[in-house]
Amino acid sequence: MLPYHNSCYAMGTRLNVIIVEPLLDCDLIFDEIVREVDRLEAKLSRFSESSDVYWINQNAGYRSIQIDAEMGNILSLCIDYYERAHGAFDITLPSKSHTRKTYRAPASQKYSRLSDDILFDSERLTVAFPNSSIQLDLGGFGKGYAMQKIKSILKENSVQNALVSFGESSILATGRHPYGDCWKIGIENSWHFTRSPCVFELTDQSISTSGFQRRTDGTVGYHIINPLTLRPVKATSSITVQSSDPLEAEILSTALFASLDADTTFLDNFSDYHILRINYNEDQLMES
């Protein structure tokens, strides 16, 4: 019997799910995955007017607002990763669409800060921005967080062998391929789409790739912002991180590309990773 495969459009890309176990009701498992991903996208998208992040972005620059426990946990995680990555991972985004106004926080309230742009009270579950030009952007967090949830769904449904891919840039592999002892995943070559510069052999691991985008018309796009310069990182390179934790793979690939060729001593604060850098300018492979 062939492995089960299904796909849908989610979080701005194609979500593919392959499940090897033939005796499971895979359609129900896939439906559960889709519901959870849709829920997270509806919560974390800064573009959806009904999302929690959109509500925070519209209001937290003017007053302290209440958030739910899950959003509080997400902000706590982001603050932790911001500190561990020495500021290279930052979910704050300056917005020119807002008139800049200053929010004065109560002196009696204790806040955790993220790059001095988020006032977060983890006990009261409130969040505020020092000024209204700040916004949250969880684009470098959302897919990794969703992969963690998907990993839990697969485990709860006794799925031992599966492959999940968000647009081939964020991949979760559990167990092994039905005709091998691992899942062999090739990294896309942005100059030569039919070639792969490296193949990862994954078993109960994830990879995440961050870098520039080569559009179908041949032009190049840069979408990852350096938190220090607040400008796009204009490098025709990619960073792929392999880890057993899909969220940490996502965080590290984003942070490493955002701080390309800068100080990466923050890697001392992480232990479970393997990094592959491809520099297309020099047409060579650099690995660490």
Rounded distance between C-alpha atoms, residue 25 and residue 6, angstroms: 13
Q: How confident is the model at residue 103 (pLDDT cuts 50, 70, 90)?
A: very low
| CATH 1.10.3980-classified regions of the chain | 52-136
| CATH 3.10.520.10-classified regions of the chain | 4-36+141-287
Query: What is the second-level CATH architecture of the domain 52-136?
Result: Orthogonal Bundle (1.10)
**What is the average pLDDT score of the chain?**
86
What the block records as the tokens of 125 is 């579950």
Cα→Cα distances 186→168, 169, 191, 199, Å: 9, 11, 14, 4
Q: Which residue has the higher pLDDT, 145 or 198?
A: 145
- The angle at the Cα of 143, spanning 49 to 73, to the nearest 5 degrees, equals 75
Look at residue 284 in the predicted model and tell me its pLDDT. 52
Candidates 3.40.50.2300, 3.40.50.150, 3.10.520.10, 3.40.50.720; correct CATH number of 4-36+141-287? 3.10.520.10
Q: Find the mean pLDDT for residues 161-178.
A: 96
Q: Please determine, for residue 136, whether its predicted confidence score (pLDDT) is greater than 80.
A: yes
List pLDDT tens digits, range 175-213.
999 999 999 998 877 666 666 778 999 999 999 999 877
Could you count the other beta carbons within 10 Å of the beta carbon of residue 171?
25
Task: Tell which residue, 133, 136, 126, 130, has the closest CA to residue 64.
Answer: 126
List pLDDT tens digits, range 199-251.
999 999 999 999 877 666 666 676 777 777 777 788 778 899 999 999 999 99
pTM of the entire predicted model:
0.88
Residues 62 and 132: beta-carbon distance below 8 Å: yes
| Paired residues of 163 in beta bridges | 18, 173
List pLDDT tens digits, range 30-89.
999 999 999 999 999 999 999 999 999 999 999 999 999 999 999 999 999 999 999 899
Look at residue 131 in the predicted model and tell me its pLDDT. 82
116: three-class secondary structure by DSSP = coil
* φ, ψ dihedrals at 47, nearest 5°: -100, -25
Task: Tell which residue, 4, 2, 10, 285, has the closest CA to residue 142.
Answer: 10
Q: Which residue has the higher pLDDT, 134 or 280?
A: 134
The position carrying tokens 């799910």 is 17
Total count of residues recorded for the chain = 288
Q: Across the chain, which distance is largest between two alpha carbons, in Å?
A: 65
**CB neighbours of 286 closer than 8 A, spacing ≥ 6?**
277, 278, 279
